Amino acid sequence: MTSIFTRIISGEIPAAKVYEDALTLAFLDINPASRGHTLVIPKAELPGLLDLPPDLVAAMAHATQTVAQALMTALKPDGFNILQNNGQAAGQVVFHYHIHIIPRWAGDRAVGYWKPGSATADELRDLAALITAAVSKAGA
């Protein structure tokens, strides 16, 4: 099934585009968390971060940085959030990789924050060892 974002790329669905290059497209979110909320997507329809080849990860980072700088210049927010969800449990609704850039102004409450937990030094050490072993297996 073709994603709504692929339909935007093809021109089947209109969008308020703010940036485009050979590999990426950025456009304003139709359900914005704040004024200027922008989505950055790859033109290739890939569901999540782990599906992107390294060159496309780099292209997405470049497009995101370019658009974030433009938002800061044009709208003069106090800051911005970069959000990206992978998988339904993480809140992903459209399974075409995308990055949200959400301009923020002091006190706007546009995005909620997580409730900090706690961990002991032993738990952190054991978890770090587990993750480090997985990184080594991945050949990074």
- In the set 37, 96, 98, 100, the catalytic residue is 98
Q: What stretch of H or E contains 92?
A: none
Residue 134, phi then psi, degrees to nearest 5: -70, -40
Quick one: tokens of 107?
């006190």
Q: What stretch of H or E contains 10?
A: helix 4-10
CA dist list (Å): 59 to 9, 74, 140: 16, 22, 20
Residue 64's nearest CA partner among 88, 100, 12, 90 is 100
Identify whether 100 is a catalytic site residue: no
Per the CB < 8 A criterion, the answer to whether 48 and 95 are in contact is yes
- Indicate which residues carry an active-site annotation: 98
